[in-house]
Amino acid sequence: MRVSPITSITELTPAASITKAGEATKGSGVSFTETVKKAIASVNELQSDADEMARKLATGELEDVHQAVLAMNKAKLAFDFTLAVRTKVLEAYQEIMRMQV
Amino acid sequence: MSSFSSFDISASGVFAQRTRMDAIANNIANAESTRTSEGGPYRRQTVTFRAVYENSLGNPAPGGVRVESVTTDPSDFRLVHDPSHPDADANGYVKMPNVNIVEEMVDMISATRAYEANITAMNATKSMINAALDMGKA
Amino acid sequence: MSRDLFNDVTSTTLRKTLDATVLRQKAIASNIANVETPGYKRAAVSFEGELKRVLDRSRGPQALDAVKSLQPIRQTDTQSPARPDGNNVNIDAEIADLNKTVLLNRAATTLLQIRGNMMKSAVEAKR
C-alpha cells in the first residue's frame, strides 16, 4: 500500500461539503468516504498480514525475521495514517460546529 | 535453594573452567619436575565438576556447576631410562610426572572453548535484558 | 478499530514466546556451564511445537484462551548421544541454539514494541 504523506490531507474535499461528500464528488472520481473506507480496509488487511507473520515467527516457521518486522511496521504506518485522517476530520467538524450561522 | 539467574549460572561455568585451566597450566609447567616440596615427582592435577540444581518440586532445574574437588591423579609415574639424570635411581631410571603433554594440550583447548562459551552465554543474557529494557522506551 | 491491542492472540503469543526464550536461554546456560560435568544430561525447553498445534487447531476467542494457558516446558534430554562419562552436551549445538534463542527474543521484543507504540498512538488520539 502506498501511503501518501500526511500533508496531502489538505487536498481533500473542503469541510463544508463533508455531509454531502458521497454525493458531491460522484462524478469527479474517488469520494472522501471511499478513501476513508479503503484506508480502514487496508489497515485491517495489513494488520492480518502482520499477525500472520508474528504467528509464523513464534511457531518457528519463519526464516526471515526482517519480513515480520517490516509487516508490523507497515501495519502501524497504515494505522497511524488512518488515525491522523480521523483526527483531522474531527477537528474540521468541530471547527464547523463553532461557526456562527 | 532459590532460583538462579542466568548470570549466576554462566558465572559458575566461567569460574569452573578457570579453575580447570589453572590446573592444566600447572600440569604443563611441571611436566618435567622430578622434585617437588613433598619430595618426589610432580603429580598431575585433576579437577572434578558437579552440577548444581535448583529446588523445584519434582522437576529439579539445572543451575550452574561447581568445582567439587581439585585432586591428584593417582596413576603411576612414568619411568624414563636416563642414567645421566641427577634423580636417576641405581638402575638409571627416573620417575617422571604422570603428565601427558598432548592430553593436557587437548584439555586446555576444550577448557578454553568451554570458558569462551560461558562468556558468550553471559553476553546473550545481557543482550536479552537490554532488549527488554528498550521495550519500555518510546 | 475495535481490536484490543494488548489482549489479542498476536500480542499474547509474542509475550509467551518471550517467556519461552528466557527459559530456554537459562537452560542453555546450564548446559554450557556443565559441558564437562560427568553424567550431566542436557536440559531443553519445548514451546513452538505446542504453540503451533494450538494455533492450527483453534480460532478466535478459543485460540486466545488456549495461548494464554500455554507454558514453555523444561525437559531433560536423555536421548542425545553421550560421551563415555555420560555427559551429552554438544557445545556447538548449544551455541547455535543460543544464537537462535537470542534472535527470537529480540524479534518478539521488537514486534511487541511496534504494537505497543501503535496502542500508544490510539490512546493519545482519544484526548
**Nearest chain C Cα to B3, which residue?**
C26
Using DSSP, state whether A39 is helix, strand or coil: helix
- Mean pLDDT calculated for residue range A54-72: 91
Domain range list for chain A:
31-98
Judge residue B113's burial from the number of C-beta atoms within 10 Å of its C-beta, 0-12 exposed, 13-18 middle, 19 or more buried: middle
C4: in domain: no
Domain with C78, as residue range(s), is: 9-125
User: Are A51 and C117 in contact (CB < 8 Å)?
Assistant: no
ipTM, interface predicted TM-score of the complex: 0.87
Measure the CA–CA gap between A21 and A38, rounded to whole angstroms: 15
Tally of domains within chain B: 1
Indicate if the pLDDT at residue A7 is higher than 80.
Answer: no
The three three-digit cell numbers of residue C90, written as one number: 554438544
Give per-residue pLDDT as tens, B85-101: 998 888 999 999 999 99
Give per-residue pLDDT as tens, A73-83: 999 999 888 88
B15: in domain: yes
- Mean pLDDT calculated for residue range A20-35: 62
For the entire predicted model, the pTM comes to 0.82
Chosen from C10, C67, C97 to mutate, greatest number of chain A CBs within 10 A: C10
- The confidence score (pLDDT) of residue A13 equals 47
| C98 and A CB contact within 8 Å | no
Nearest CA-CA distance, residue B78 and chain C, Å: 25
Tally of domains within chain C: 1
B1: in domain: no
Domain with B96, as residue range(s), is: 6-135
B44: in domain: yes
